[in-house]
Amino acid sequence: MMDERSYLQPESGRKLGLGGIKFSDAQSRLVFRPVGGLAALSRILAAFAGKRINLHQLVFRKIPVGGVELYLARNAYLQNRSLIDGELDSHGLAPAEVAEPVGTLTLFPHASSMEVLLKVIGIAVGSGLPVHSMCSSLSALCIATDAERLDELAGALLEVFSLPDGHSPFRYEQSDLDRRLTGGQGRIVETIARYWEQVIRIYGSSLKTGLTGVSVSADGDRLLEVIGELADCRIARFLMVELTGTESGRYSLQLIFDPEHQHGAAAALSFGLERIDNIEYYVWKGLELLFFHGPHFQDRYGVMHTAVAALSEASVEISSAICSGTGVHLVAKEEAGRHMLDVLGEVFVVP
């Protein structure tokens, strides 16, 4: 096995190029663990959608430990906390953890490159900085850490990645139009997704089947060994990733890729993971991944709630879900994908 850290270094001094990095404003991180299935998730999401509070990011997972993790603007949470808590309490739900302020660093585009992904995970986890979560959207990887550590995390990543000259600033800078429309305060909202419409407009969706997924639970050092095994398998592209850090110092990673062009990768990966002590892992075959995206601007008033409520009502089982960037990824077991697509086709439309 190659040295588990060598893949983190720029090859021959050449850094991998990215398009940009963005920092979020201060956020609150709410963790519900354990949590039941989609019905429980639907009730959680209803508490926010009902108050028209955007979620910046959301992860739902059933294995290895069922849980929901969501991120929202800190101000929005603080202003509505008693209402949200009351709503959740009425359903017997309460977050196991509320961490604030956190911030998310978004880097893009990842180009579905496993090389980029593994370097990002390795640097983030290996940096010693808190990594609360990471998940992927169509173009970006979004990493949550403590709000005051964003610059440090960016610095660690820029040891291995480069940005173009004149790249967008990390923190939001108002344009003239923004200043005119907001009187210099805040940001204009591109409210195009109107969720009081019966059917929500999205850009498009795709369903992929026959996929391979790996779920791993490990501490930081073992996770870096797992990253090394993934690098050894030379899987070129990933479809979806989510990583969650827990207060005990363990990480839970879920990664999905298409084995069609990676013959033998699943077997090689299982063989490699078998050799690592003190980790729990599963390698899944035949997974189905439904992806859709639209002008959500981070779950504008309940895209995830709409999707989850519809799926829950139709008794569709999903094993995990991510809402990040302007997209939603839903993972299900074999032959459930078409049912997901049919159900969601009743509540979303491509214009």
Applying CB under 8 A, which residues contact another protein? 19-20, 106, 108-109, 137-140, 164-169, 172-178, 180-181, 188-194, 201-204, 293-295, 297, 325-327, 350-351
Give the nearest distance from C-beta 137 to another protein in angstroms: 5
For the record, the structure tokens of 149 come out as 């550590």
Q: How far is residue 337's CA from residue 237's CA, in Å, rounded to a whole number?
A: 21
Residues in CB range of 17: below 8 A, 6 or more apart: 161, 162, 163, 164
Nearer Cβ to another protein (42/106): 106
Of 60 and 301, nearer to another protein (C-beta) is 301
Neighbours of 9 (CB within 10 A): 13
Bridge partner list, 324: 327
Nearest approach, Cβ of residue 261 and another protein (Å):
18
Q: How far is the CB of 43 from another protein (least distance, A)?
A: 27
Cβ atoms of 316 and 38 within 8 Å: the answer is yes
Nearer to another protein, 3 or 165 (CB): 165
Whichever of 177 and 275 has its CB closer to another protein, that residue is 177
> Rounded distance, CA 347 to CA 313, Å?
12
CB of 182 to another protein, least distance (A): 9
| C-beta separation of 340 from 310 below 8 A | no
Please name every residue paired with 31 in a beta bridge, in sequence order, or none if there are none: 69, 97
What single-letter DSSP state applies at residue 113? B
Residue with smaller CB distance to another protein, 166 or 249: 166
Nearest-5° Cα angle at 185, 167 to 23: 35
